[in-house]
Structure 1
C-alpha cells in the first residue's frame, strides 16, 4: 500500500509500505478522507516532538470504510466509520479522575499508532472495544466525519471556558480551529462573536460562518475595537485559537471583569508568554487551557454533525489525492486554504 511517511522533520514522502497487520479483534479500514491539522504541520516542521516517532504515518483526523472486520459481529466490510483517535488506558490516575484526554499511558493515532495519511489503517481491538468507532449515518460524508475530531477538541475547550447563552465571545485567529469556535459558539447561544485575524480571506470566512464583527489586527487597535463593540466592558470569553505567545497578553486586555480566557491553541516547545497578572487578580479573570478530546467530546461532536445541527463541510476548501500529500501540507501551511483534505477514492 501507499502512505505518506514522515522520516524526520521536513522529510515527508509518499511511498510503498507494508500492509497493516491485524491482530485478533483488530479492524482494518480504507482511508477515504483525512484532514490536515495544524498539529500535523508542527510535527512535520519539527516544532512538536512529544510522542512523535520516526518513521511514522501522521494523521489523526480521518474516516473510512471497513475492509477487514477482524471477525467481529455487528460490523461488515464496507461499513462507513469515523474514529475518536485517542485511546485512553482507563487505569492511570488521569483516566480515573475523568481526564482521559490527558491519559499518561494511552495510544493516539498519528503518534504511537500510524495514522490516517495512508491507504489502509489498523484500528486496534482496544479502540473498538472502548467505543472509539462510530458508524456514519446516510448523508454524512467522510470529510465531515474527519472534522469531528477537531470539533471535539473545540467542544472540550468551550466547555472548559464555559461558553454559553448571551456571552460575548472574541476568537483570536480565524483558521479552521477559530472558525469551528465561531460555529460552536453560535450554536451554544453566544450573543455576539468577534473575530480577529490578519488574513482578509479568513476574516471574510469568519463572517460567513457566523461572526458578527471582524478585526484586522494589522490595521486596527484590537483592544479599542473590542471595547467599542462591547460598550466598553470587554468580552465574556476570549479564545486564543492560534499559538502565538504574544496573544496571551492581548487576551487579558480584551476580557471583561469576571470573564474567561481560553488558551486553546498549542504552542511550540519552549515558548513562553506573558499575561497581565494584575488584571487576572483584580478583575477576577479565569484562565484555562484545553488539550485534546475525550470520547464523550467525540460522541457529542459526532452527533452535532450527524444530525445536521452544525455544518462543517464548508470548512474543506481544498482536496488532494494521497499521492499529493506533501503538496497538501504546503497548501495547508500557506494559509490560502481553510481546511485541506487528503482523499482516497
Structure 2
C-alpha cells in the first residue's frame, strides 16, 4: 500500500509499504478522506516532537471504510466510519476524574500509532472496544467526518470558557481552528463575535462563518477597535487560535474585567510568552489552556455535524490525492487554503 512516510523534520515522501500488521481485534480501515491539521505541519517542520517517531505516518483527522472488522460484530466490511483518534487508558486518575483528554498513558493516531496519510490505517482493538469508532449516516461525507476531530477540540476549549449568549468573543487567528471557534460561538448565541487575522481571505471566511466584525491587526489598533466594538469594556472571551507568543500578551489586553482567555493553540516547544500579570490580577481575568478531546467531545461534535447544526462543508477549499502529499502540506502551510483534504481517488 501507499503511505506518506515522515523520516525526519522536513522530510516526507510517498512510499510503498506493507499492509499494517494486526493483533487480535484490530480493525483495518481504507482511508477515504484525511484533512491536514496545523499540528501535522508543526510535526512535519520539527516544531513539535512529543510522541513523534521516525519513520512514521501523520494524519489524525480522517474517515474511511472498514476493510477488516477484526471479528467485531458491530462492524461489517464496507461500513463507513469515523474515529476519535485519542485512545485514553481508561483507568488512570485523569481518566477517572473526567479528564481523559489529558491522559498521560494514552496513545494517539498520527503520533504513537501510524496515521491516516496512507491508503490503509490500523485501529487498535482497544479503540474499538472503547467506542472510539462511529458509523457515518448515509448523508454524511467522509470529508465532513474528518472535521469532527478538530471541532471536538474546539468544543473542549469553549466548554472551559462557558461561552454563552451573554458574551462578546474575540478570536485571534481565523485559520481552520479559529473559524470553528467562530462557528461554535455563533451557534452558542454569542452576542458579538470579533475575528482578527491579517489574511484577507480568512477574514472573509470568518464573516461567512458568523463573525460580526473581521479586523486586520496590521492595519489598525486591535485593542482600540475591540474596545470600540464592545462599548469600551473589552471582550468577555478571548481565544488565541494560533500559537504566536505575542498574542498571549495581547489577549490579556483585549479582555474585559472578569474576562476569560483561552490559550487554545499549541506553541512551539521551548517558547515562552509574556502576559500582563497585573491585568490578570486587578481585572480578575481567568486564563486557561485547552488540549485535545475526549470521546464525549467527539460524540458531541459528530452529532452536531451529522445533524446539520454545524455546516463544515465550506471549510474544505483544496483537495489533493495522496500522491501529492508534499503539495498538500505546502498548501495547508502557506495560508492560501482554509482546510486541505487528502482523498483516496
**2:294 match:** 294
Q: Matched residues in 2 for 1:324 and 1:307: separation?
A: 32
Q: What is the correspondence of 1:5-154 to structure 2 with a 5 Å cutoff?
A: 5-154=5-154
The answer as to 2:264 corresponding to 1:259 is no
Matches within 5 A, 1:221-300: 221-300=221-300
Structure 1 unpaired stretches of 5+? none
Aligned length: 345
Distance in 1 separating the partners of 2:138 and 2:80? 9
SS in 1 for 2:247: helix
Name the SS of the counterpart of 1:40 in structure 2: helix
Q: How many Å separate the matches in 1 of 2:332 and 2:188?
A: 28
Which stretches of structure 1, 4 residues or more, deviate above 6 A after TM superposition? none
Question: Matched residue of 1:73: which SS?
Answer: coil
What is the alpha-carbon distance in structure 2 between the residues aligned to residue 176 and residue 72 of structure 1? 35
Q: Which secondary structure does the structure 1 equivalent of 2:308 belong to? A: coil
* Counterpart in the other structure of 1:165: 165
Instruction: Give secondary structure in 2 for the equivalent of 1:56.
Output: coil
State the alpha-carbon separation in 1 of the partners of residues 20 and 298 from structure 2.
25
Contact 1:89 1:95 in 2 (8 A): yes
1:91 deviation in Å?
1.5
> What's the TM-score, normalizing by structure 2?
0.99
* Residues in 1 aligned to 2:3 and 2:238: alpha-carbon distance in whole angstroms: 39
Q: CA RMSD in A?
A: 0.7
Q: Which moved more, 1:334-343 or 1:72-81?
A: 72-81
Residue 93 of structure 1: how far off its partner (Å):
2.0
1:175 Cα deviation (Å)?
Answer: 0.2
CA distances 1:28-58 after superposition (whole Å, capped 9, x unpaired): 0000000000000000000000110000000
Question: Any idea what SS the aligned residue of 2:228 has?
Answer: helix
Q: Deviations over 1:54-73 (max 9, x none)?
A: 00000010000001111211
Give 1:26 deviation, angstroms. Answer: 1.1
Aligned to 1:193: 193
TM-superposed deviation, 1:94 = 1.6
Contact 1:29 1:123 in 2 (8 A): yes
User: In structure 2, the residue corresponding to 1:193 is in which secondary structure?
Assistant: strand
Q: Provide the secondary structure at the position in 2 that maps to 1:57.
A: coil
Using structure 1 for the length normalisation, give the TM-score: 0.99
Displacement of 1:166 after TM fit? 2.5
Whole-Å separation in 1 of the counterparts to 2:200 and 2:184: 22
Matched position secondary structure for 1:170:
strand
Q: What is the CA-CA distance between 1:138 and the residue it aligns to?
A: 1.2
Deviation at 1:96, TM superposition (A): 1.9
Give SS of 2:281's match. helix
Kept in 2, the 8 Å contact 1:196–1:214? The answer is yes
C-alpha separation in 2, matches of 1:7 and 1:236: 44
1:74 CA drift (Å): 2.5
Secondary structure of the residue that 2:203 maps to in structure 1? helix
Check conservation: 1:166, 1:192, Cα contact below 8 A.
Answer: no
